[in-house]
Each structure stands twice: as C-alpha cells, then as structure tokens.
Amino acid sequence: MRATIKGKITAVAALSAAALVLSGCGGGAGAASNDSATSGEVNLIAYSGVWQDQYTAAVIEPFKAKYPDIKINYASKRSSAEMLSALQGQKTNPATDVAIMDNSVSTTGNKQGLFEKVDAAGVPNLANVPEKFRDKDGYGPVAMLDAVGLVYDTATFPQAPDSWDVLWDPAYAGKINVNAPPSLLGLSLTAITAKMAGEDYTKGIDAAVTRLKEMAPGVQTFAPNPDEYQNVITGQTVLGLGQNARGQFYSDQSNKKMGVTFPKEGTVYQINTINVVKDAPHSAAAKTFVDYALSAEAQTAFAKALFYAPSVSNAELPADVKARVVPTDGSLNIVPLDVEFLSSARDKWTDIWKRQIITK
C-alpha cells in the first residue's frame, strides 16, 4: 500500500481515537476498546472452502501483520443466502462486523437495514473504486468480480464447448450437474436461458422454464456434492455450472482435468460486495479491515490467489493473471443482471424450479 494511503488510514485512526475520548466512549474504557480502528477484533462472515483458504492467505494474514492488535474471527458459509439468514437472525443484536457476499443478496440486506453506508472518510480506499462498482445509495461497494461459466471435462471436450446448448445435448444426459436456485448459478442460468429464448426475464420466464424443463431429465444432480468442480474432476459428471475464478483454480489443481469457458450466448457477472453491518460491535476496526480489503495490495494478492478480478482502479495484475480473471472492460458478452429485480424474484424463481423443473 502506498504511503499516501497509509497516511490517510493513520489520520482516520487518530480522528477516531480523538472522537472517542471527547464523547466519553459511552462512559467506559471497555467501550473505547470495542470501537478502536487499530485494535480489538473484527467478526467477518464470508464464503467457506477454497475461497476462505485463499482469502485468508492473501488478505487476512497480511492484514493481521499490518494490524497485529486486531483479531479476525472468520465465520464461514457456503452461500450468500446462508450469510443473509445468519445476519437476519442477528438484526436486533448484531454479532458480525463485516460481510462479503454476492450483490444480489447484499441488495436485500441493504433494503432490510442490515448494513450501514460507507464513505471515503471512514474507508479511504473507496476513492479507488470506480463509480460503476459503488452502490448508488452508498452501501458496501464491490470487492471483487467474477462470472458464471461452463465447467467441463477436458478429456470429453478437447475443445471447450462454445454454447450453453450443450446442456441440452442428449449425448451427455445423466452427466450434467446444475446448481439449482437459490444458488446464484441456477438463477443466472435462468436469466441466460431466458435471453436464449428471446425473453425479458424481468417480464416473465415462461419460455425459459419450458427450456429448463426439457434440460432437467439429463441432469444428474441439482445439488452437486461435494461441489460442481469436484464432480467434473472425479468423472461423476462431464459438464456443469461454475464460476470462472474457482474453475481456473481447480483447473490448475487437477492438472487441467477440468476447464472453464464462457459460451457465446453470454454470461452473468458474479459480484461480491463488502459490507459493514449496521450497529456492528466493532465498527471502527471493521472499517479499517474494509479499507485494507479495497487496497491495491489486497486486491492484487487475491487475484493471484483465486483469479477474482479487482474492483479498484489502482491494482496492477501480472499479464498471466490478467488473462485468466474475468474482464471488466466490456469485452465479455454479459447478460445484464438486474440485482434489485433478482433480489425480489429470488424466492419466486426458487419455488418455480422446485415445483416445475426439478422433477426427480
């Protein structure tokens, strides 16, 4: 991190400490230690598995080296929907400080009053997040970007499939895994299928549902176990939905047994936001962590570790990493995902999948 940013963080810490002294910190020294920008703890809720492992190594451990007096407590969840449920249960007495989750879910959290707004005064590195990656109402910004891809067995497909239509190909019936909603992967496939059928998913998904019902008999599992990547790597399936970042990681881990590609009809961004919980027990330290997570240092390190595209403009990636993260310059065919609409339609679409598409 550059010296200018360090200086801003130091200034913020000093101002926070001064404000605590002047306000009396609620009347006790204990309260001051709970709201320090450079000490105490941060309770983080974020993804489990390889995401947790790589984020811990690339971001959390360097953060702890920089701020040794701040302890990070990591609560892991498999999905953003699980995170939202946990935060909803804490609403009247928050135990979490920071949440990293998909923006279609954090949008729901914003509407429900679970998160607080952030600004460059409390999070200086917000200044390096382009406007398009900031929340229009001032809530948590984009922390990293990825996109939904088609994962495939490279022995079965020496050339990457170029169309989502391969999921309907009877030659691969029984060898496909599809993550059903409320997973973002299933929701994304719904939007992509609607586009393929010439339908505006915000107006209706009848045509998409008809197509997905035709696909369903060929799907081996709608809940891949242990996950969509290992199912392909072990030969349980040969095709599935996945995310580019993890797909790139597992491709390396499997000696290229599995590949990941973006079909020609387009794909959907998978965008994670970083959010400060409203009335967080350690709000000042939480903002210090969010600021570090938005630094060029942290963003570059995580891109190298797990191939997520940075959300800040001052991160510089090595050429070999840049070639494998999802492009954000407009060169990828993206199906626009209306996150506010999806936030309201998630439960309805999930119910449609359960009642009409998943028939076994």
Locate 101 and state its tokens.
């989750």
Locate 218 and state its tokens.
């060929």
Reported as a pLDDT band with limits 50, 70 and 90, residue 13 is very low
Q: Which of 309, 112, 189 is nearest to 99 (CA)?
A: 112
- Cα gap 325→303, rounded to integer Å: 7
- Is residue 31 scored above 60 in pLDDT? no
Q: Which of 196, 164, 179 is nearest to 237 (CA)?
A: 179
Locate 319 and state its tokens.
């050429």
**What letter represents residue 138's amino acid?**
G
Cβ contacts of 349 within 8 Å, gap of 6 or more: 181, 187, 190, 205
Beta strand ranges found along the chain (DSSP E): 40-47, 70-77, 98-102, 142-153, 176-177, 219-221, 239-243, 258-261, 269-276, 309-310
> pLDDT, tens digit, for every residue of 235-251?
999 999 999 999 999 99
Whole-structure pTM value: 0.85
Cα dihedral 86/53/249/306 (nearest 10): 80
Q: Which of 45, 5, 36, 55 is nearest to 298 (CA)?
A: 55
pLDDT of 339: 86
- 10: Cα within 13 Å, side-chain hemisphere: 8
- Cα gap 314→300, rounded to integer Å: 9
Buried b (16+ CB within 10 A) or exposed e, 20-30: beeeebeeeee
Is the Cβ–Cβ distance between 316 and 296 less than 8 Å?
A: yes
- Is residue 3 scored above 50 in pLDDT? no
- Cα gap 263→240, rounded to integer Å: 12
- Is residue 27 scored above 50 in pLDDT? no
> pLDDT, tens digit, for every residue of 118-161?
999 999 999 999 999 999 999 999 999 999 999 999 999 999 99
- Cα gap 251→258, rounded to integer Å: 5
The CA-based diameter of the chain, rounded to the nearest angstrom, is 72
Decide: residue 178, CB within 10 A, 0-12 exposed, 13-18 middle, 19+ buried: buried
